[in-house]
Amino acid sequence: MIKRWISALVLMMVTGNIFAQDGSARMVKWDFTSKKIDDKTYEVRIAATIEGNFHIYAQNLGIEGPVPTTFTFVKNPLVILNGKPKEVGKIIKKHEEVWGGDVSFFEKKVDFIQIVQLKSKVKTNIGGKVEFMVCDDKKCLPPSEVSFKVGIGG
């Protein structure tokens, strides 16, 4: 009897840990594309579609607390990043008591656009990861990371 109880407890802990690691990733669908905008200049578009009543935090929150959306790009000697990704979407600024201040976030959809320039006319990839966290009015899910790779050039 005790053996079964311990086995059930271990199974619940493992299952709970798996869902916690999945966290925010279950609530956001990411789409990664590129578009040529000039001879050697490309727009890398990172689109986030947010499920339900959840929201994703902006890159610049305004306060400490929630995890901002953060992009880390893998260094590629053939590519120059022009600044940080720009946010395109309806930004909402709201006072949230739980964080003790005003925060900036997006609901439903937001596009992040990174302008990149190739050093020469070659075909290559730009890759990296996005770290983010989602919350609704009642809870926040653990932060998640999603890796990506987008073809450019050629």
Q: How does pLDDT run across 57-104, given as a tens digit for each residue?
A: 999 987 888 999 999 999 999 999 999 999 999 999 998 888 889 999
Tokens of residue 67, six digits: 């995890």
| Confidence category of residue 137, pLDDT binned at 50, 70, 90 | confident
Burial (Cβ within 10 Å: 0-12, 13-18, ≥19) of residue 152? buried
Question: DSSP assignment, residue 77?
Answer: T
What is the dihedral angle through the alpha carbons of 97, 103, 109, 113, rounded to the nearest 10 degrees?
-160
Task: Read off the pTM.
Answer: 0.82
pLDDT at residue 2 above 80?
A: no
Per-residue pLDDT of 24-65, as tens digits, reads 888 999 999 999 999 999 999 999 999 999 999 999 987 888
The H-assigned helical ranges of the chain are 2-22
The confidence score (pLDDT) of residue 5 equals 33
CATH number of the domain within which 48 lies: 2.60.40.1250
- Domain housing 147: 2-153
pLDDT at residue 6 above 70?
A: no
Query: Domain count of the chain?
Result: 1
